Each structure stands twice: as structure tokens, then as C-alpha cells.
Structure 1
Amino acid sequence: MKVVNVFKSAMGIISLFVFNSAVHADNYLVDSEQSYLEALTKVAPGDDIVLKNGTYQNFEIKFKAQGNEQAPITLRAETKGGVVLSGQSNLSISGNHLIVSGLVFKDGFSPSGSVISYRTSKDELANNTRVTEVVIEDYSKPDKFENDYWVALYGKHNRLDHSYLAGKRNRGVTVAVRLNSAGSIENYHQIDNNYFGYRPELGSNGGETLRIGTSHYSLENSFTRVENNVFDRCNGEVEIISVKSGGNVLNGNTFIESRGTLTLRHGNGNTITNNVFLGNGVPNTGGVRVINADQEVANNVFKGLTGYRFGSGFTVMNGVPNSPQNRYHQVKNANIHHNTFIDVSHIQLAAGADEERSAPPMDSIFSNNLVIADTVPTTFSFFDDISGIEFTNNVANYSVESQIEKGFTKRSDIQASSSHNITVDGMQVGADSSVKALNKSDVGPSWYEKKVYETPFGSGNEVSVEPGVNTLFEAVAKAQDGDTLVLADGVYSEEKIVEVDKTLSVKGGANANIVILPQRSALFEISDNGSLEIEGVTLSGADAPDAAGNTFIRTKKWGMLTNYRFVMNKVKVTDLDINHSYHFFSAGARSFATLLSITNSQFDTISGHVLALNKEKDDLGIYNVEVLNLESNTFKDVEGALALIYRGGTDESTFGPKVTISKNVLTNVGLGKRNKRKASIFLHGVQKTQIRSNEFNATAPVKIEHTVGEPQTSHSGNTFVDTHDIIITDFLKEKDECSCPE
């Protein structure tokens, strides 16, 4: 084999020749953009362009070449994983019979609309091209709502395999199969053996991990095969995979604790087989959602899934009569058979039924399925006429709902520890025993370690901190991700705003006497990569500057890329009244808390709001918090609201917000003249609300506004003294009403 190394040096281009009698091919070893371009002009079928190991900044690679089936042209790393493309780098490919292998994209973001694109221009597409053992990790645009793809497949007969994609935080599909030209329709792509890792909640539409087609081209066939991939905690939005074309096969994939569903959103004649959905009881984990015609869902295992509504363990949707192409086509001729459901909380049929979605499923069958409810009851819910679904030869180990009981045999002896299937009257019921979950180690490049995201609180070292001036600031600056700062008794006077850019815990002892007094407009500012836990201290605003609008704890004022968590327990908050509108916690626009929890704490004398989580006012379905939990706290003399949450717009692709407020005591809360909502708690667009066993004393009312989706609001055991009952304004029904307890 002849090998040619090409790179810049004082002596110019050096060529080395080695002869191999079996194959005549050239290897071009390049170490710069210029040497790469020189090599690209010389490659012929069978040649390799080899990127020398190292880190390449701002390298936009265009790989345009023509190989053939017997002798493809390859672009590869010198050593797999040894080439890192950073800064503003990307890769676009066009031509025939090409291979890309072993590259890593990290520490930057693409300057264009994709990191890897199977085209170099609108008219120059890749065909018969393979991208394998490539890594894209944490390579997100700095603006969370700036859209891009990580991989965009165009052309025909292309493959993406054994690759690692994790940590996408900005809007846009991780992998998109594009059907926007004749050269990309009926493409027969293959997406297999990849690891799709952690994708955090976007808090908006546009967080799919995989999309095949778009609504505009959804009546076209793609014939894409998605096989033997792992989707691990892909939580971007309600659609983990969005199928928007026809003729696709999704086979043998494993979904691990992924919040959302494999959604047959548009397109007909898709096949979903041999997949495993493992929720492990994690909230919002789902399975498959069926829409459109001629869909087959067979031989899958669904286990420990908790999701409901559009994100439930299994959903068959209602459609829109004579639906426009971008809405919901009626389910017709769905064949749902030989699946196993184990501890799946919700199976929903004719879901989404409303004035628009009024066409129930028709000509469909639900047969030979096994439903096992051992540790969690399974509920079948019906939202419209289900006579268009025939139930036959199914088995459950409990008494199913009366509407479908004729299609089920009850076998109370069956347990989840049994096989995924049983035999009844010579017929198999449930998924075949050959259906097994993939391990994470089975997929992706074997040489790349799978990263752990969301560092647990308290997982690092304990660091002792003494009282004094700026000692907390200095300790935080030195702390490592996951560390716990253990504060000694005394006064901590902070002259600087403390930036939290790591997972950090700040704690006092069981009987500690610790007071923290900021002298700036804020004590803590949570920025990208930051999460904060506080326990066992007193937070006082007595030394804050005499200015309106201070905030004790805040996020970056605008544009966080990463999600954060804030947890507080056994904390006393006092004297936030040096001037008006002194808030305790304020979230900036485009910030997103996956969890905000305050328990067993005391709040006294606050001139602003306790929690201002209402900065997203553009009504695009964006909001500031996914889960809010307030339990066993006291709030006294708060001029603003205890909590303001705003989630505007009508988009239905997210789960939250979810709010639980229980066992709190509110006294004189929300009655200040600057509290524009005139509410102690104001929730707009929240999807799930529980308000239980609270005491409201001489306090502004709780106001809840239903605006989108199928909001669930429950309240019970609350007492109201000199306080109006909870008020619900139901914009979905276009009327105002006061809700009644459960």
C-alpha cells in the first residue's frame, strides 16, 4: 500500500511511499486546513485522508469526493478519538461512497445550522455515505433558543452508526432525517448502534432527539431504519423520536428513563418492533404514541412508565376530520399486537379528544397483548368512542376497565418476573422472549466513556468554612463540582456576588447559628453549569444596599444554556425589606430550573416576591421551572407573592410546569400595593397543580389560570381565614369559576 503524508513544514510537503501488492491506495496524513484541502484535490477511490491527532479550532470541513462501492474514500482520525474539533467547527459531506470515522466534536458549537451535514450545499448531497464512531458532546450553541441540528441526513442510502451524541442543550433536533428534495425522499437511511445520551428538558418545543421528516413532506416515504440504538435520558420534550414520514422501521432500540414518547406524528405505514422502554418509575417516562394510518406496533416491551396524556406509556390519538397536513390525521388500521406492558401507569385511547380532534380511531386492532400490573396499577383511559379499536386475545393480571373487558382474559397468577409472554389456547400473548434491553456498553464507540450528567448534591468533598468577610465567596471559588461547604457558627458578610457555576451545597450543622448577610444586590447568582443546595442557615437582607429591586438569589439575568436545580431545607429568611421589591429568588429570562424545592423553612418580612418565575412573556410555550415543590414552610409578612409562574402559548410539547404546595402556613402574603397579580400564588399555564393542607391567613387569594393542554388542578385540606378560596380561571372553557375541593 502506498502512503502519502501531507503536512506543512519548513520543507514543504513530505511524501512517504510504501507499497502493498494487494491494494493500491493512498493515505494522506494532514494536520491543517490547508493540507487537508491539498489532499482533497488528490484523493481517488480507496484513499484515506487521515487527520493527525490533535485539537483543531474553527475547522469547517467540506468533504466532497467520489468513491465507489468497492473502494470508498475515507476521512478518519489518525487514532479513533484522537482528533478533537473545537471552537466553531463542523463537517459537511457530499459525493458518493464516503466514510467518516473517529472524530470528536466538543468544546464549541457549529457556526452553521448543523454539526454534521450529509450535504455541502442545497444541490450537493451525500449518497451511500457512512459516518461511524463519531462523538458530538456538549456542542451546543450558546443561545439556548438558537436552532441547529447535530446531524442532518440528506441524500440516499446513508448510514449513521456506533456514534455518541449527548448533552445537546439548545433548540433543534439532535438527528434529523431531511426529506426536502427529490434526492432525499425514499432514502433508505440506516441509523444504528448509536448512543443517544442525556438531553435535558428544553422547556419548549424543539427538543426532539430524532426526527424523520417534517409535516410538509409527511406524506412521502422515507424508508429509514432506526435499529439497535440506546436512548438514555433523552428528555428534551414530549417527542423523543418524531416520525413525520412513511415506511420507516424502528426496531430493537432501548429507551432508558427517557421522558417522552416515540411518536408517530405524521406519515403512514411505519413499523415499531422489538423495542424496550424502561421508565424505572421516573416521572413522564413514556412509550409509543400512535397517529395516522397503517401503523404497526408489535413485540415491544414497556416497563415502569409513569407518563400520562401525550406522554403516556401507550397512546392512541384522536384525529382532526379532513386534517390539514400539519395537524392530527385520524388513526386508521393500526395493528397493535404482541406487546408486553409491565407496571405502565397509563394507556390512553382516543387521547386529545376536543372540539378540533373529534375523529376517533377506526378499523384498528389491539390483540395478543399482555398487561401486567404488579407494583403500579395500569389505567386504561378513554376520551372518545373506541368502538373503532377491536380488542381480542389480550391478557391482564387484573380486571381491566369494563369498556374493554371482553377483549381480555384475566390471569391473576402472572407476575412481572415471569416471561414477557404466555401461551393461551395455543396462541402467544405478549412480546417474544428474545426481546431484550440493550446495555449502554453495547452501543456507541467502544473507546469513548459515557459521561455522567447532573452531578448529585453532596457527591464531592466536604470543605470547612470559617465566618468572616467574603469567606463564602472565596470558598465557592475554590470548590469543585459536587462539593459541600460546611459553615462554622458565626456571621458571613459577603461584599461580592457569589457566582455558582458548579453543583454546590452550603450547609450548617444541626443546631448551627449561622447568619449570611450580603452587601450587594444579590448573594448568589446561578450561572451555566450551576446548581445550589442550602441547608441550616439564616439568610438576612439587613446589610443589602438601599435600592429597589434587590434579589437575594438569582440566576443569570438572561440567556442560560444549562438547566439548574435549587434545593433549600431548614433555612430562615428574614429582613428582605431594605427597600421595595426585594425578592428572595428571581429567575432570569431563558433560564430553566428542572427542580426548585423549598422545605421546612421560614420566611419573614419580604418587600417583594419569594419566587419570581415569570420572565417568559412572549407566549411561545417557554417557561422557567419544570417542578416546583414547597412543603412545610411558613411565610409571614410578604408584600409580593409566594410564587409567580407564567407559561404562555398553546404549544403541547412539554410536560410542565408541575407545582406541589403542601403543609405551608401563609400569613399576610401578597397584599402589597406593587403585587400586580393581587395573588399570594399565581400560576398561569401550569399543567399539574396540587395544593393541599395549607393554612391561608389574611392573605391574597391563590389564582390559577388554565390555558393549554389538559391541566390537572387538585386541592384539599386547606384552611382559609380572612382569605378568599382558590380561584381558577379556565380559559380552555372560556369561563371563570371557583374550583371545588376533591
Structure 2
Amino acid sequence: MKHFKVFALLFTTLLSLCSFSKTYGFSDLKVKNITEFNQAVKNAKPGDNIILANGNWQNTELVFKGKGTKSLPITLKAEENGKVILSGLSNLRISGEYLIVSGLVFKNGYTPTTEVISFKTSSKELANNCRLTETVIDNFSNPERQESDYWIGVYGKNNRIDHNHFEGKRNVGVTMAVRLNSVESQENFHQIDHNYFGPRPILGSNGGETLRIGTSHYSLTKSNTIVEYNYFDRCDGEVEIISNKSGSNTYRYNTFFESQGTLTIRHGRGNTVDGNLFLGNNVENTGGIRVINEDQTIINNILINLAGYRFRSALTIMNGVPNSPINRYNSVDNAKISNNAFINCNNIQFGVGSDAERSAVPTNSMMTNNLFYNEKTVGLFDVFDDMSGIKFSNNFVSENTKTDMFKGGFTKTKFKLVKDKMGFTLPEVKGIKPQINENIATKDNTGTGFYSKADKEIQLSSGKIIKVAAGQNTLYDAAKNSEPGDILELTSSDIYTTDKIIEINHPLTFKSDLKIKPTILFEKQALFQIENGGSLALENLIFDGKDAPDYTGNAVIRTSKYSMNHNYILHINNCNFINLDVNNSFDVVVIAKNTMANLFKIENSTFDKISGNVVSLDKEVDDTGIYNAEKVILNNNVFSNISGTVLQLYRGGTDESTTGPFLNINHCIFDNVGNGKKNKSNAAMLIHGAQGIRIENNIFTNSKKIKLELIVGEPVVNILNNNFFKTESTLITGDQKFTEKDNFMIDPAFTNKNYELPSNSTLNAKGTDKMNIGLIQKK
């Protein structure tokens, strides 16, 4: 009897659906090409489903117009979720009422227009009450790095973007932008929820936001957009992960995982940031919340292990510009910052940006019931201007934290640590108990149900080992037949020669484990060329340039001369570069414009007899804040007889959307560097506009000066415990602060060609790390 009732109910439901379908006439319209699609759109009625057949829809521009109803929307969907691929020059435009799009995947191409998915078909035809769900955009980036587009442009009103997967935007332009450029798109009440915003690599220029709501031009306009339950996974494009540029928006229950930036209330009034979770895991430059403008509410957020500073601090309260133009900084006024927990974060900063222009301090604001638990950092707080306009009360800090910069409002206490249901250890004190929302965004409960969130980036040295014998072009052949992540192991200490340029199209490592290093000779203008998608590691090898052609422009390593939208890594360890002097401009590394290195690291290596420069990361000279490398590390190297410079690093302009590059030079020897007649810079190193500079424990002998041009962004600059002998004094220009101390000017009196110091040298044990200044000698 029970089974009969169930069957009867199902049969009745089926008859009802059939009757409903017949009454309203909706149908499933399966289409196999753009002609059929256009006809289906033209004929679609409320309740119809337009179904794209499984397969690769290449170079397809879909225009989806229609008018459904709330109870009978018109739906555009994949035959099977994830099996309809829009590739090549493809995009989707939507306009009308009550339309739903689901199940599509955009990859292996880019949009030929401004947006991949646009909630408009023209300036007058917008989408209202529409929904984008269960859709993927994966690495659908213009190959020209500085060619701008958006992935999602949201116009109209009452639209919902939910449960989508967006990952790997590599060119300039916001991943998702809510546009307020007409009355019809203002006070829009959009809902952006449960989306997975996957990794976005460092862009190295402005325009790398993951989400932007509004623009400065419309920043006094209300948007009323709700952004909730989204997961931001390593969104590193620029300093602003989210750029709020409008009013009355709500950001709640989102998770920011290891993202190198902040949720930034850049413009607009009356916004709320509530109950979000920031997980930094001590990854450098990971940030929290940056507060600017009037009437902002920052409550109930939990921020853990964030390592960023200045614009990327766990909490950044900005100074404003008096009578600010609409595109600058309105001062903080009537801000409410309450019931937030900051756990083992490195920096909380007030009055950031304070200078002659940004002199408007916060007013009429309050900061109460916040917890600042920190196991190690004593100097958690930095105050750069008058903060009397913020009323501090009932805030609690760890017993080791300095609070003497405040006039009350902070109580030192011993916190009780309690593990919550999600496994996070949170501090409690005097009835204040931080709680993570039980429905907070996670990697598992966001995005689509069919598309993998596994990392797609192949790491260096993660593949198989390919053994390579000495000989002519054996390295070229091995590289050509390699796969991403492979390791080419040179098995002989004999000579390896090549008369072909080895193209590095994917992450590839060349190394040896031999006591006598293999020597590589090359007969072309370059040995390696890093192409888009490539990264290169070199270890325990000798590179000899004696057989290279006597042409201008020789280099051991160069990047593609074309724009690269994939960032690369170059890592050189324990290698020797010799005889790069067959002409007057033989460089070690040459890079091109519109290329970007996430990491440029040279360690434990020697460079001798170089007629040109070692590394020139200086091709972005348009002074718009763009640069060629995020992090540059030179550690424990010898640079001798270098006619040009060891390093040229350039980041021009005054744009503050990016906070690199970062430079660390430690325990290196610079001997006879920069003295060549064709060294136009007249310097051993020329560093312009870098945002983090640390030069320490190095020895300079018989070399040209270091030139540091400090022009933007309050860089952190330290020149510490170096020795300059018969070397010109460091030249520092610009209006930014720096620290230069504990440096020497004595004869190092090296005891041998390995640059060892005498046992009684004044430079012994005088490094910042208590080691000898100069080279770290191998034992």
C-alpha cells in the first residue's frame, strides 16, 4: 500500500507538470550551433530552457535576450554541467528579465570585447532579476598582459551571481565589476554569493582587483550590493582584493585565504564589513581590512596570521585628503570598529599615508570590544598621525603588546584560548567570545559542484628526472621532449654544447649532483629563452660564453620578446657564469616589457668577466606603477669584473595599487663592478621605486656606487652592516625615509681568490645575523 501511494503521488506530479507545460507552452530547446542558438533565443518564451549541446563551442559570442517571469524564467544551460566549453574568442551577453545561465565553462581563449560575461547587450539593454550560477571561467585571459578586460560585468538591478568558479585571471582588468554608470544600475541590490574566486597571480600593476563595486566617479552613489559566503583563494592581483567604490554595500561571511591584499573600502559611505574570516598563514603581504571614508562599520571579523604591513596590514585606518577630490581619499569619519579579533597578526596601523597631502585624520569614530592576541609581536600598533578622533574603549591586548601610543582604551590581559567547532583556536576575555559563522565560506561549499579546485600550477622540480649525457644539443633535445616540472640531470662533467636556443615553455630544472660541475657552451645569442608559461631553475652548473657569437645583445637567459601573461620564476643556485665578454654588451639575463617574475633568486653563484649587466629588470618605464619582478633575492654570490651593473630594478610612477617590488641582497661580494666605459648608469646597482629594500652584510670593493631612487609608497629601506672599500658612497635620492647604519669602509684584505677574510678581520661576526660580513664560506 505504501509503495502504491508513492507511485500515485509521482504519477499525479508528472501529470501536473505535463499539464503545466502544455498550458504555458514551455519547452527544452537543444541547440548545436550559433545559428540554432540565435533562433532559439528569438523564439524563447517564459519557462523555456535553451540547452547548449555538449562540446567545444569555439569562437562563439552568445547574445541571450529574453523576458521571463519570476515563476517562469528563461534558462540557458549546458546539456551537462561542465561539458559545454566556450573557447577561443568567445563571450556571453545577457539582457532582459528573469534569465538564468548555468553550467558553462569558459577556457582556452579570451573575450574579443570588454567582458567575458556581461549583464547587458547594449548601453540601453540591461539585465534585471537575472542569475548566473554554476558557471566557470578558468584562465580565460588575453595573451597581452596589459590589454584590459573584465570577466564579469554586472549591470542592471537585482541580479544574482552565485556558486560560480573564477580562477586565473592574468591580464589587466577586474575579475568581477559591478557597474554603476547609469541610473538603471544604481541602488541595484545585486547578490554575489557562494562563489569560488580562485588564485589570481600578482599582476605587478594597477587593475588586478578580484572584485570591484563602483568607481570613484560614482562613489557617492549607493549600490546596495550584498557580497556574502564567497571564498577568495590566494587572490594576489594587487593590494585591493575587493575594491569598494560605492555606498551601502555589505560584505559578510566571506573567507580570504592566503590572499596578498585587503578588503578595501576605497570610496563610498555606509558600508558594512561583518563576520568575515581572513586566514593568512603568515604568507607575506597577506592583509585584512583597509578603512577610508565616512560611516563604515567593521564588526565581528576574525583575522588570523596576517603578515602584511602598511596598505596590507590586518587593519589599516587611512588618513584622508582635506576637501578631497572624488578620486582621492576622503577622511575616516563616524567609523564603528567593534567585536573583531586579530590573532597573531603582524601589523595594525593608524593614520597610514599621512603626508602633506593626506593630512585629514579620522574623526567621530569608535573602536571598542576588539581583541588583539599576539604571541610574539611587541610592536603590533603603528600610529602615524593624531588619532584623538577615534574613541578607544574596552579593547584587549596580549600582555607583551605596547600600547603607550594610545591614551587609554586598551587593557593588557591573559587570554583564554578556546577551540571552536571549525577547529580554530580563538581567544576569549571577559565575556567577549569571537565566533566564526557556522556557514562561513569554505573551499568546499563555494563554487560549482562539478569543477575541480585542485591547484593547476606545476611547480619547478616536481616532475620526473631525465638523465642527459654530454654532447651536442643533448640538452636541447631533452628539453624539447620534457614535461612540466621535469628535472634534466646532467650526468657528465664533460662539455655540453648547443647551437640552438632552448625554449622553456613550462617549469623546467637543469641541474647536476657532480663534484666537478658540467660546463655548458652555447653558440647562439642566448642559451635559454623563457616563454609564456615557463619557469627555469639552474643548479650546480658552469655557463661559459666563450663560443657565443660576437653580436650585440648576447645573453645566457632571456624572456620572450612578446607579452607574457603567465608569471615566471627564475632560480639560479651554485652556478658559475664566466667569459661573458666576447662583445661589449653580453648580459646574463635579459627580460622584455610586459613580463613579470614572481621570484628572481640567485644564490651561492659566481659571475666573472661580464661585459654587460648581470640582471636588468627595468623595461617598464612608462611610470604607471608597472614593474618586472615582484621579489628579487641575491644571496651569497660573487660578482667580479662586471663592466655594467649587477642589477637594475625599476618601478616608476606614483600608483599605490601595487606594493612591490621587494629586494633583498645579502652576503654578496661586489668586486670591480660598474667600471665599464659603456655603463651609462655609472652605478654598480640602480634601484628605482622599489617598495622593500634590504641590502645587508655585503662587501663592495673597487666598485661604482649603489643608486637608490626612493620615489613612492613609504618604502621600507634598510642598508645595514655592509663594507664599502674604494667604492663610492651610496647615492639615495627622493623624498622617502630610509635607514642606513653600521656600515664600514675598511680594506677587507681577502686572503685568497675565494674572498675569505683574515681571522682577525674587523668584519668578522659583524653581520646583522652575527656572521661574517661578505661571503658565507663553504665548509
| Alpha-carbon contact 1:119-1:126 (below 8 Å) kept | yes
**Residue in 2 that maps onto 1:7:** none
- 3-state secondary structure, aligned to 2:444: helix
**Residue in 2 that maps onto 1:407:** 409
- 3-state secondary structure, aligned to 1:20: helix
1:615 corresponds, among 599, 616, 619, to: 619
**Residue in 2 that maps onto 1:420:** 426
Distance 1:688 1:600 in 2: 22
**Residue in 1 that maps onto 2:635:** 631
Which amino acid in 2 is paired with 1:723?
Answer: T
**Residue in 2 that maps onto 1:391:** 392
**Residue in 1 that maps onto 2:21:** 23
Distance 1:34 1:738 in 2: 67
| Alpha-carbon contact 2:715-2:736 (below 8 Å) kept | no
**Residue in 1 that maps onto 2:291:** 290
Q: What are the within-5 Å matches in structure 2 for residues 5-20 of structure 1?
A: 20=18
1:257 aligns with 2:255: no
**Residue in 1 that maps onto 2:174:** 173
| Alpha-carbon contact 1:726-1:739 (below 8 Å) kept | no
1:704 aligns with 2:708: yes
Which amino acid in 1 is paired with 2:664?
Answer: T
1:445 aligns with 2:445: no
Which amino acid in 1 is paired with 2:19?
Answer: S
Shift of 1:300: 0.5
1:674 aligns with 2:672: no
Which amino acid in 2 is paired with 1:458?
Answer: S
Shift of 1:618: 1.1
Distance 1:319 1:19 in 2: 60
| Alpha-carbon contact 2:115-2:149 (below 8 Å) kept | yes
Distance 1:505 1:258 in 2: 28
**Residue in 1 that maps onto 2:524:** 520
Q: What are the within-5 Å matches in structure 2 for residues 132-531 of structure 1?
A: 132-377=133-378, 379-398=380-399, 399-404=401-406, 406-415=408-417, 420-424=426-430, 428-429=431-432, 431-434=434-437, 438-489=441-492, 490-531=494-535
1:559 aligns with 2:557: no
Q: What are the within-5 Å matches in structure 2 for residues 38-117 of structure 1?
A: 38-117=39-118
Which amino acid in 1 is paired with 2:687?
Answer: L
Scaled by the length of structure 1, the TM-score of the pair is 0.95
1:550 aligns with 2:554: yes
- Number of residues of Structure 1 aligned to a counterpart in Structure 2: 719
Query: Structure 2 regions of 5+ residues with no counterpart?
Result: 1-15, 744-779
**Residue in 2 that maps onto 1:653:** 657
Shift of 1:40: 1.3
- 3-state secondary structure, aligned to 2:683: coil
Distance 1:482 1:738 in 2: 41
Distance 1:469 1:187 in 2: 66
Change over 3 Å in CA distance of 1:76–1:378 after alignment to 2: farther
Distance 1:299 1:450 in 2: 28
Distance 1:391 1:100 in 2: 48
- 3-state secondary structure, aligned to 1:285: coil
Distance 1:208 1:491 in 2: 49
Distance 1:119 1:28 in 2: 23
| Alpha-carbon contact 1:192-1:227 (below 8 Å) kept | yes
- 3-state secondary structure, aligned to 1:21: helix
Distance 1:400 1:420 in 2: 21
Deviations 1:217-265 (A, max 9, x none): 0000000000000000100000000000000000000001100100000
Distance 2:742 2:591 in 1: 31
| Alpha-carbon contact 2:231-2:256 (below 8 Å) kept | yes
| Alpha-carbon contact 1:393-1:429 (below 8 Å) kept | no
**Residue in 1 that maps onto 2:4:** none
Distance 1:356 1:225 in 2: 33
Distance 2:18 2:393 in 1: 65
**Residue in 1 that maps onto 2:723:** 719
Identity %: 47
Deviations 1:347-369 (A, max 9, x none): 11111011111000011111100
| Alpha-carbon contact 2:293-2:329 (below 8 Å) kept | yes
Distance 1:717 1:423 in 2: 44
| Alpha-carbon contact 1:298-1:431 (below 8 Å) kept | no
| Alpha-carbon contact 2:280-2:287 (below 8 Å) kept | yes
| Alpha-carbon contact 1:513-1:537 (below 8 Å) kept | yes
Distance 1:100 1:84 in 2: 14
Change over 3 Å in CA distance of 1:400–1:570 after alignment to 2: same
- 3-state secondary structure, aligned to 2:43: coil
| Alpha-carbon contact 1:374-1:416 (below 8 Å) kept | no
Change over 3 Å in CA distance of 1:150–1:509 after alignment to 2: same
Shift of 1:652: 0.7
Distance 2:463 2:406 in 1: 52
| Alpha-carbon contact 1:714-1:741 (below 8 Å) kept | no
Which amino acid in 2 is paired with 1:406?
Answer: G
Change over 3 Å in CA distance of 1:717–1:400 after alignment to 2: closer
Shift of 1:620: 1.1
Distance 1:179 1:391 in 2: 36
**Residue in 2 that maps onto 1:587:** 591
Shift of 1:422: 2.5
1:644 corresponds, among 636, 643, 648, to: 648
Distance 2:688 2:609 in 1: 26
Shift of 1:718: 0.7
Change over 3 Å in CA distance of 1:527–1:433 after alignment to 2: closer
| Alpha-carbon contact 2:378-2:402 (below 8 Å) kept | no
Deviations 1:461-517 (A, max 9, x none): 111111111111111111111111111112111111111010111111141430111
Distance 1:134 1:540 in 2: 52
- 3-state secondary structure, aligned to 2:232: strand
| Alpha-carbon contact 2:148-2:172 (below 8 Å) kept | yes
Deviations 1:134-190 (A, max 9, x none): 000010111111110000000000011100000100000000000000100000000
Shift of 1:705: 0.5
| Alpha-carbon contact 2:277-2:436 (below 8 Å) kept | no
| Alpha-carbon contact 1:307-1:313 (below 8 Å) kept | yes
| Alpha-carbon contact 2:403-2:410 (below 8 Å) kept | no
After superposing the two structures, state which structure 1 stretch, 521-530 or 558-567, moved more: 558-567
- 3-state secondary structure, aligned to 1:84: strand
- 3-state secondary structure, aligned to 1:39: helix
Distance 1:582 1:116 in 2: 47
Distance 2:644 2:273 in 1: 51
Deviations 1:365-389 (A, max 9, x none): 1110011102555611111100011
| Alpha-carbon contact 2:194-2:446 (below 8 Å) kept | yes
- 3-state secondary structure, aligned to 2:39: helix
| Alpha-carbon contact 1:395-1:429 (below 8 Å) kept | no
Deviations 1:95-144 (A, max 9, x none): 00000000000000001000000000000000000000000001011111
- 3-state secondary structure, aligned to 1:557: coil
Change over 3 Å in CA distance of 1:668–1:557 after alignment to 2: same
Distance 1:580 1:147 in 2: 39
Supply the RMSD in Å over aligned alpha carbons. 1.6
Distance 1:740 1:410 in 2: 34
Which amino acid in 2 is paired with 1:422?
Answer: E
1:128 aligns with 2:129: yes
After superposing the two structures, state which structure 1 stretch, 206-215 or 449-458, moved more: 449-458
Deviations 1:419-478 (A, max 9, x none): 535242xxx435335467533121100110114143222111111111111111111111
Which amino acid in 1 is paired with 2:452?
Answer: E
- 3-state secondary structure, aligned to 1:144: coil
Change over 3 Å in CA distance of 1:416–1:386 after alignment to 2: farther
